[in-house]
Amino acid sequence: MTTNTDWRKLYEEHEIAYLRGDLATSSPESYTLDEMREISAGMDASTAEVEAAMRADFNSMSPAMQARMMDLLGKADPENIDWWRRLLLANEAAA
């Protein structure tokens, strides 16, 4: 891949965002409405960042590698292959 994504950092930030969400939903009385909105926005932003990084990595692959990746995803996660296609091929649909 030619992208420079620091996957470890991205994963840790994503996990922290969702941990904050879990804490907030397990004790909602401990948070203000604004704090809950901020936590939700952080979760959304983190998810968008992870998805964008996955798309960038996928798009940096050669067409042959992309086809192989889609084949592997179809075999590993057949129930969700349509989701993977929408996620990874989003730029093609917008073009």
Which pLDDT score, from 0 to 100, does residue 1 have?
Answer: 41
The pTM score is 0.80
CB 85 within 8 A of CB 69: no
Q: What is the pLDDT of residues 15-60, one digit of tens each?
A: 999 999 999 999 999 999 999 999 999 999 999 999 999 999 999 9
CB 21 within 8 A of CB 40: yes
Give the pLDDT band of residue 94 (cuts 50, 70, 90).
very low
Which pLDDT score, from 0 to 100, does residue 95 have?
Answer: 40
